[in-house]
Amino acid sequence: MSTLLTDVRPPLTTLTEDERMFQEAVRDFATSEIAPKVMEMDEAQQMDPALIAQLFELGLMGIEIPEELGGTGSTFFTSVLVVEELSKVDPSTAVLVDVQNTLVINAFTRWATDEQKQRFLPRLAADTVGAYALSEAGSGSDAFALACRATPDGDDWILNGQKMWITNGNEAGIYIVFATVDPQLGYKGITAFIVERDFEGFSVGKKEDKLGIRASSTTELILENVRVPGENILGEVGRGYKVAIETLNEGRIGIGAQMVGLAQGALDHTLRYVQEREQFGRPIGSFQGVQFQLAEMATEIEAARLLVYNAARMKDAGEPFVVQAAMAKLHASEMAQRVASTCIDLHGGYGFTKEYPVEKLYRDAKIGTIYEGTSNMQKQTIAKVLLR
C-alpha cells in the first residue's frame, strides 16, 4: 500500500520542530485512544468522561494558558494544529477542544482581569470545561439581538433569559454568558458575564438531537434570577459586543481547522479504500477518473489548510486577520462538505453505511457552514472590508 498523503504533505515543512512533535503526539493519541470510541460516543450522543480527563492530562484543554497558571503555555497556532489532528479522527472531540481554547480561553486571555485569570484559568487548564453562550432562539446571525437581560442589584447583576445552541453545554462548569443591560442601547448594552454551573437559578436545558457531531453536546441554558457578582464581568459593562466579535474572529480559524482535519480524515480513509477495493479485476484507485477526483480533493484540502495556517500565524503575529479568518472558515467548511460527499461516492454503497467512517464524517461536515458564522456571514464580512 502506498504512503498516505498525511505523511508526505508539504505544509509540515512550515512547522517548527516543537510544533511538529506536538502534532505527532496528538495524532498518535487520536489514533490510539479516540478512534476506538468514536462510533460508541456518536451513537450514545455523549463524550466519554474518561476521554475528557485524558484531554486535560495531555494539556490539550489549556493550550494558550501560561505555564504558571497550569497551562501548556503555547500558541494559538498550536491550538489550530491540535484541532486539525483531532478532527481527522473525531470532529466531536475536536470541537470540545476548539471551543475551550479558541473561544473560552481566548476570551479570558484577552479580556479578563489579573484576578479573574488567577481564579479561572487554572481550573480551565486542570479539569473544568468552558462554554461560550452567545446565541439565543431569536439571535443567530443577528448575534446582538439578545433577549437575555442583566439587571443591576447592588454590586451584583441578576441574569434572566435563555441561551440556545451552546456547545459543551452539558460538560461545562464555567460559561461566558452574554446579556444586555439595556435593550435601548442596542449592541452597546451587551455585556459578558462569567457564570458558574452551581450558581443558583442556572440550569442546563434541552440537549439537541443533531445530524452530526453528535457526541458534542449542544444545549439550551436557562437563567432564572441568576445572581452574578460584579467581579465576574468579563471586560467592561457594555463592551460585550467587542468581546464577542474579537473572540469569534479567532474561533472561526478553529472551525476552519476542524473542517480541514475532517476532510483530510475522509480522504485518508478513501485512499486506503480505493487501493483495496477491486472492480473489473483491479483496484478502483487505478482508474483515471478516480485518480482525478483524489487529486482534486487533495488540492482543495491543501488550499484550505494554507488559508487556516496563514490566518492563525497572522493572529499570533498580532496582525489584522479578520478577512483571513473569514476566508479560512468559508473555504474550509464548504470544501469539507464537497470532499466528504465525494468520499462517500468513492466508497459506493459501503460509504452509505455506518460500517465505514466516511458516513459519520459526511454528517459531521454539515455544521461547518453554519456555526460560528454562516457562509453568508463570512462572505458579508469579506465583502465589507473589500468595499471600504
Rounded to 5°, angle at Cα 128 from 125 and 132: 100
CB 307 within 8 Å of CB 334: no
Environment class of residue 250 by beta-carbon count within 10 Å: exposed (0-12), middle (13-18) or buried (19+)? buried
Do the Cβ atoms of 99 and 47 come closer than 8 Å?
no
Residues 22 and 16: their CA atoms lie apart, in Å, by 10
Residue type at 34? I
Residues with Cβ within 8 Å of 209's Cβ and at least 6 positions away in sequence, in order, are: 45
Q: For residues 4 and 1, what is the distance between their CA atoms, to the nearest angstrom?
A: 9
Strands 129-133 and 172-180: parallel
Distance CA 367, CA 112 (A): 30
**Separation of CA 351 from chain center:** 25
Closest CA relative to residue 163, chosen from 182, 135, 191, 189: 135
Q: At what angle do helices 322-347 and 358-365 cross, to 10 degrees?
A: 150
The alpha carbon torsion through 139, 145, 147, 151 (nearest 10 deg) reads 140
Which amino acid is located at 304 in the chain? A
Residue type, 313: R
Catalytic site residue from 136, 300, 359, 372: 372
The contacts of residue 220 (CB under 8 Å, 6+ apart) are: 162, 163, 164, 166, 169, 204, 205, 206, 207
CB 71 within 8 A of CB 224: no
User: What distance in Å separates the CA atoms of residue 350 and residue 343, rounded to the nearest whole number?
Assistant: 11
For residue 272 the three cell numbers come to 486506503
Nine cell digits for residue 384: 465589507
Is 302 marked active-site? Answer: no
Q: Report how far residue 15's alpha carbon sits from residue 7's, in angstroms, rounded to the nearest whole number.
A: 14
The set of catalytic residues is 372
